[in-house]
């Protein structure tokens, strides 16, 4: 009786599901609010709303829209554009930057000066701040020594020449500096507010609560109901306030993606936002709707190999494992998000980098390598354990790869699922054989990935250490000629992939749902979508246009050219 009942319910509901044939869109296309508002999800409460201390995407989404740094990223190309700095000069050796700031104000009317940036950058690396992203400040000369507690924060080579001129000197002439500077760690801090709170006997750490907060970005927080919603209103004192179109943005804190999907369908969200990810099993279905969008994302999924213990201390075995993975099948049938299969660590085309060409799948060569390593029969190879942290997506990839290794090489692989913090502890103590990892690039440069394999990098979980590799990376960083720098980086990556201390699998994509009346959300590889470029289209072309037939979503509408800064046509990933 129960079987029949459950079966019946399942059938009825799935058949009654809202088919794309009906509307062409997932759920309602009627906005539940006026044209000046945007409702979106932030998935979870941020840990910190302090730019220096924030280290999670939940906080980043808010900081990028409530603070304004020296430069901002173009919403589509991410190219650095003027923000508080109107223009800048670079020294001949590429190490010293002089920024000229526009006169601007904090949201409480206090003038914003170069000193606020100096205060922020010093505070970022000061161990007393205890910022998890203190390493971001290591790009400034002296930053690393300060965060190790070996030098005073005042020794950081960042100084205000006058109220509107800022000079910074870098450790290395890194070409991605201006782009990196758009990151939220480098936003200014309202020193006057923190000091005022301290004199009033209030803990300055609470400065970002809505009753105190002072900011300088396009929006300011007006309501924060813990674990329910945050409301942001346009900041009239933002220097470019006239070009900010949305009056209010409402953020909900919905963790469960299915709940978020339901709320999107019911019109409670116009856009689930970049912190909501859609599960793989829904992607094929959702891709049939007109409000589905996809773009590449600068993050790589790979497996670390602990190179210390047999049989994985043999590079031949590690290469065999890599070659036995059918990455194209993995992406097409398991990850299902149109990810880009990759056997190299650095994605192709990243800041002009040409990816190392490696076969994506070569089972014959893999078997041959295994024989060369002395394992004539697959039974000779002891079982290998693959560790991943609790997550449906990681499990799916691990199960598929386990079968590929079993099928192609005859290797017995045990899967080991671990709770996140236990997983981290084991990874840190090298207490594993193979473990999964995803790495998001902090900036558009190969170094953000290649740095992982250096001997001193605390995130290197392979125990692989190669002096030549370390030296090649250091030399690349000293290099001020961009093409010679890339060549050295490429040489280093080739050397590293030969040793195979990790197995790259694919480059991520981001799949999103955006209501057809929401405009100005550009796909970019860091999934950053400033609210100030977003607007609600009241013309509603989706109602006039015939919905596209199921199977192929209609092209996303082009934003009008008037959006500032000049908007580029949205490129959709294949």
Q: Which of residues 311-370 bind another protein (CB under 8 A)?
A: 329-330, 332-334
Using the contact rule CB under 8 A, the part of the chain among 187-195, 425-433, 481-489, 540-548 near another protein is 425-433
- The full DSSP string for 217-244 is SSEEEEEEETTTEEEEEE-TTSTTGGG-
Work out whether 430 is an interface residue with another protein (CB under 8 A).
Answer: no
Query: Among residues 101 and 254, whose Cβ is nearest to another protein?
Result: 254
Stretch touching another protein by CB under 8 A, among 71-79, 101-109, 169-177, 253-261: 253-261
User: Which of 35, 57, 279, 554 is close enough to bind another protein by CB under 8 A?
Assistant: 279
Q: Which residues fall within 8 angstroms of residue 389, CB to CB, at 6 or more apart?
A: 417, 418, 419, 420, 423, 424, 436
For residue 35, which of 513, 519, 533, 538 has the smallest C-alpha distance? 538
Looking at 109, 201, 458, 551, which residue binds another protein (CB under 8 A)? 458
Question: Binding to another protein by residue 455, rule CB under 8 A?
Answer: no
Residue of 230, 386, 400 whose CA lies nearest to 324: 400
The tokens describing 136, both together, are 């971001």
Backbone φ, ψ for residue 314 (5° rounding): -95, 120
Q: Is 463 in the site for another protein (CB under 8 A)?
A: no
Task: Tell which positions 195-214 bind another protein, by CB under 8 A.
Answer: 205-206, 208-209
Choose one: 13-21, 107-115, 168-176, 480-488; the region binding another protein (CB under 8 A): 13-21
Supply 310's token pair.
Answer: 């047999």
Per CB under 8 A, the list member of 214, 254, 351, 536 interacting with another protein is 254
Residue with Cβ nearer another protein (211 or 376)? 211
Residue that the structure tokens 């709303």 belong to = 49
Phi, psi of 341 (to 5 degrees): -60, 140
Say which residues have a Cβ less than 8 Å from residue 186's Cβ, sequence separation at least 6.
51, 69, 70, 117, 120, 121, 124, 136, 180
Segment interacting with another protein, rule: CB under 8 A, options 1-9, 32-40, 70-78, 513-521: 1-9
Among residues 52, 50, 28, the alpha carbon closest in space to that of 39 is found at 28
How far is residue 499 CA from its own chain's centroid?
27
Stretch in the footprint of another protein (CB under 8 A) among 7-15, 182-190, 289-297, 494-502: 7-15
Q: What count of other Cβ atoms lies within 10 Å of the Cβ of residue 248? A: 17
Give the CA angle between residues 82, 83, 86 to the nearest 5°: 55
- Binding segment for another protein among 156-164, 174-182, 290-298, 393-401 (CB under 8 A)? 393-401
* 161/424 with CB nearer another protein: 424
Residue 181 in contact with residue 170, Cβ under 8 Å?
Answer: no
**Which residue from 45, 233, 313, 451 is in contact with another protein, where contact means CB under 8 A?**
45
Interface mask toward another protein for 149-188; x: CB under 8 A: x---------------------------------------
Q: Which of 275, 339, 342, 396 binds another protein (CB under 8 A)?
A: 396
Question: How many residues make contact with another protein (CB under 8 A)?
Answer: 90
Measured from the CB atom, the residue of 98 and 135 that comes closer to another protein is 135
Nearer to another protein, 88 or 121 (CB): 121
Footprint on residues 119-148 left by another protein (CB under 8 A): 127-135, 147-148
571 forms part of the interface with another protein (CB under 8 A): no
Radius of gyration, CA atoms only, the chain: 25
- Nearest-approach distance from CB 438 to another protein, in angstroms: 8
SS3 content of the chain, % helix, strand, coil (to 5): 35, 20, 45
């Amino acid at each position: 009786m129960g079987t029949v009942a459950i079966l019946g319910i399942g059938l009825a509901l799935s058949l009654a599901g809202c088919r794309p044939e009906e509307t062409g869109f997932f759920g309602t296309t009627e906005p539940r609010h006026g044209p000046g508002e945007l409702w979106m999800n932030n998935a979870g409460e941020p840990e910190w709303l302090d730019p220096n201390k924030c280290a999670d995407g939940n906080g980043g989404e808010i900081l990028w829209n409530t603070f304004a740094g020296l430069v901002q990223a173009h919403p589509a190309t991410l190219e650095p554009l003027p923000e508080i700095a109107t223009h800048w000069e670079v020294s001949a050796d590429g190490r010293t930057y002089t920024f000229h700031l526009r006169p601007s104000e904090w949201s409480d009317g206090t003038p914003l000066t170069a000193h606020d940036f100096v205060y922020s950058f010093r505070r970022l690396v000061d161990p007393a701040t205890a910022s998890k992203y203190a390493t971001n400040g290591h790009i400034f000369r002296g930053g690393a020594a300060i965060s190790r507690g070996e030098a005073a924060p005042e020794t950081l080579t960042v100084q205000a020449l006058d109220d509107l001129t800022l000079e910074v000197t870098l450790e290395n002439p890194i070409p991605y500096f201006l782009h990196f500077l758009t990151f939220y760690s480098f936003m200014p801090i309202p020193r006057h507010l923190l000091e005022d709170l301290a004199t009033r006997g209030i803990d300055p750490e609470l400065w970002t609560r809505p009753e105190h907060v002072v900011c300088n970005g396009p929006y300011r927080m007006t309501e924060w109901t813990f674990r329910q919603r945050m409301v942001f209103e346009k900041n009239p004192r933002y220097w470019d306030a006239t070009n900010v179109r949305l009056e209010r943005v409402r953020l909900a804190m919905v963790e469960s993606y299915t709940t978020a999907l339901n709320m999107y369908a019911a019109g409670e969200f116009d856009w689930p936002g970049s912190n909501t990810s859609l599960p793989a099993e829904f992607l094929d279905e959702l891709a049939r709707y007109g409000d589905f969008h996809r773009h590449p994302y600068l993050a790589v999924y790979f497996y670390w190999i602990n190179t210390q213990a047999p049989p994985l201390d043999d590079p031949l075995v590690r290469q065999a494992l890599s070659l036995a993975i059918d990455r194209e099948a993995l992406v097409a049938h398991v990850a299902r998000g149109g990810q880009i299969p990759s056997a190299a660590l650095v994605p192709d085309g990243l800041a002009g980098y040409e990816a190392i060409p490696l076969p994506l799948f070569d089972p014959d060569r893999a078997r041959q390598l295994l024989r060369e390593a002395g394992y004539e029969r697959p039974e000779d190879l002891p079982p290998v354990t693959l560790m991943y942290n609790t997550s449906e997506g990681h499990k799916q990839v691990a199960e598929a790869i386990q079968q590929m290794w079993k099928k192609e090489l005859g290797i017995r692989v045990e899967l080991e699922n671990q709770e996140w913090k236990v997983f981290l502890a084991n990874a840190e103590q090298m207490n594993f054989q193979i473990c999964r990892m995803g790495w998001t690039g902090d900036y558009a440069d190969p170094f953000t990935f290649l740095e992982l394999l250096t001997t001193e990098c605390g995130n290197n979980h392979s125990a692989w250490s190669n002096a030549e590799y370390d030296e090649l990376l250091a030399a690349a960083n000293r290099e001020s000629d961009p093409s010679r720098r890339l060549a050295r980086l490429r040489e280093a990556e080739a050397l590293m992939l030969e040793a195979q201390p990790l197995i790259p699998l694919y480059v991520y994509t981001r799949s999103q749902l955006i209501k057809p009346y929401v405009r100005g959300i550009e796909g970019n590889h860091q999934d950053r979508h400033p609210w100030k470029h977003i607007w609600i289209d009241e013309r509603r072309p989706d109602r006039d246009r015939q919905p596209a037939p199921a199977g192929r979503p209609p092209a996303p509408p082009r934003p009008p050219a008037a959006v500032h800064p000049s908007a580029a046509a949205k490129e959709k990933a294949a």
